Amino acid sequence: MVYGVPSDKVRGEHAHRECHQFLIAAHGRLSVVLDNGHDRKEVSLAEPSIGLYMPPGIWGIQYKFQPDTVLLVMASHHYDAGDYIRDYTDFLSVVGQDGR
């Protein structure tokens, strides 16, 4: 669970090599940016009955957290630091892009 995030802070800013994730705004509202290295989309999560599936290989950013937002993140794998791609340039190399 992610909570207590100030509205001016950004979370995420990484991709996973193997882990699948499912995000739900259990309470409140936030925006999620999804980037596959070719296209970038922004989605608003605001209802606990609607979730967002993030497969591996998607750069994810969560921001615009409203006060008291609670983000539930379900993951297919246990934490593994080696599964994370934390540098955007490295991410673009992994997905076969030289940049934008």
Sign of CA dihedral 79, 51, 38, 9: negative
Q: Is 27 annotated in the active site? A: no
Sign of CA dihedral 12, 62, 58, 1: positive
Catalytic one of 14, 20, 38, 78: 14
**Contact predicate 22/74, CB 8 Å:** yes
* 40 DSSP 8-state letter: E
Q: Which residues are designated catalytic?
A: 14
